[in-house]
Structure 1
Amino acid sequence: MAPLGICSLVAVTIIVERLIFFRRTGFRQPADEVLALVRQGRHEEALAKADGNQLPVVKVLQAGLSHRRNPGKAMEAAGLAEISGMKRGLTALETIITLSPLLGLLGTIIGMIGSFQIMTLAGSSQPHAVTGGVAEALIATASGITVAVVTLIPYNYFLRRVEQETETIEQYATRLELAFNEPLPERAR
């Protein structure tokens, strides 16, 4: 049960951290403002607006603005780094989802072995001693499955959010490249 407790603690820590991370990534207004400035030909202002912003999509746009000779490659490299950052902790959650039921089964098997040893020592005249041990051993399996199920739901949510953010980054990067190629408005020339 101790390893399952550790798995639970690690899972809860990662889940809370990722929830906080993905909660702040949903804002698109700074990215829209950067694109609007680029469309107006105000590249330096757009770069200043993007500078220091921690949203993944804005960081990617900043890479494109900083490397105007080849913005596509710069944004691609920045996008890969941001996607990697968004996936932080997901491998640990995936491992916990797989490991927890196995640890639960291991605990049950160890508990069953203990119950059979009690039966060997006490004989078959005390079945309640064995059934109590079996019931206690099954708690480990139930705990392992519970940890896996409770971790699986946020894990799938986070995977979906990574996919959504990846699509958003691709859309904004494409929009920035198009904005670089648009003719400037008359007043910006």
Structure 2
Amino acid sequence: MVQTLASGGWIMLPLALCSIISITIIVERWLFFRRIGRVHHADDLLALVRQGHMEQAQQKIGDADLPIIRVLHKGLDCRFCPGKAMETAGIAEVAGMRRGLAALDTIITLSPLLGLLGTIIGMIGSFQIMAASGIGQPHAVTGGVGEALIATAAGITVAVITLIPYNYFLTRVERETETIEQYATRLELALQEQAAGTAS
């Protein structure tokens, strides 16, 4: 297997680098999204705010280092304008959730192109052999074509393996963004209710 891949030529080196970067980002993002998928901390925090237990709500924030909790924390810190504070914090958190996805997108596009480049270089080599020796050595020509196609196969494989997690992570970012917006709106309403109750 290693010998087969090595026969794809020097273009296999950037493809191998792309695959290493892709796997690293995929594992890191999977662990990240697995960790932040818990929203029960946000439910508990909202319940405390509705009951007027602001100090306990602040303690709850310290117990959970999650994007949604950090956004709600901004809302509690700026009770006179919680919406804008949480919107600003939400933008930063969404940017953090999208970290590494641009690199995956680039690898999805770049890998097949690198594979195609390797195939073209291999085909050029095969035609040079044909030009030098004529068609008297068909095995040399077909062998060169076979080696050239390895690069294309490797490039498409890297792109396919990267594409599925990339789409999953994009879906997770959208889902987490919607969740943050939902809980931010609920906290803003809870703070308004508390302010109205205090005023009356």
The TM-score with structure 1 as length reference comes to: 0.95
Note if 1:181 corresponds to 2:192: yes
Aligned to 2:28: 17
Aligned counterparts of 1:53 and 1:104: Cα–Cα separation in 2: 45
C-alpha deviation, 1:43, in angstroms: 1.1
The 5 A counterparts of 1:84-99 are 84-99=95-110
Note if 1:162 corresponds to 2:168: no
Contact 1:25 1:55 in 2 (8 A): yes
C-alpha deviation, 1:51, in angstroms: 2.6
C-alpha deviation, 1:122, in angstroms: 2.1
Aligned to 1:118: 129
C-alpha deviation, 1:115, in angstroms: 1.0
C-alpha deviation, 1:52, in angstroms: 5.7
Match of 1:31 among 24, 42, 47: 42
Q: Sequence identity, in percent?
A: 69
C-alpha deviation, 1:118, in angstroms: 1.4
Contact 1:101 1:144 in 2 (8 A): yes
Aligned counterparts of 1:183 and 1:67: Cα–Cα separation in 2: 14
Note if 1:79 corresponds to 2:90: yes
Structure 2, unpaired ranges of 5+: 1-11
Write out per-residue CA displacement over residues 94-128 of structure 1, whole angstroms, 9 at most, x where no aligned residue.
00000000000000011111111111222211111
Mean Cα displacement is larger for which, 71-80 or 50-59? 50-59
Match of 1:144 among 155, 179, 187: 155
Aligned to 2:7: none
Aligned to 2:8: none
Instruction: Give RMSD over aligned pairs.
Output: 1.5
Contact 1:64 1:72 in 2 (8 A): yes
Contact 1:38 1:180 in 2 (8 A): yes
User: Would you say how many aligned residue pairs link Structure 1 and Structure 2?
Assistant: 186
Note if 1:69 corresponds to 2:96: no
SS of residue paired to 1:36: helix
The TM-score with structure 2 as length reference comes to: 0.90
C-alpha deviation, 1:131, in angstroms: 0.1
Aligned counterparts of 1:3 and 1:14: Cα–Cα separation in 2: 16
Aligned counterparts of 2:78 and 2:140: Cα–Cα separation in 1: 73
Aligned counterparts of 2:85 and 2:68: Cα–Cα separation in 1: 13
Note if 1:42 corresponds to 2:57: no
Aligned counterparts of 2:64 and 2:38: Cα–Cα separation in 1: 11
Amino acid at match of 2:125: G
Aligned counterparts of 2:84 and 2:58: Cα–Cα separation in 1: 17
In the TM superposition, structure 1's runs of 4+ consecutive aligned residues that sit over 4 Å from their partners are: none
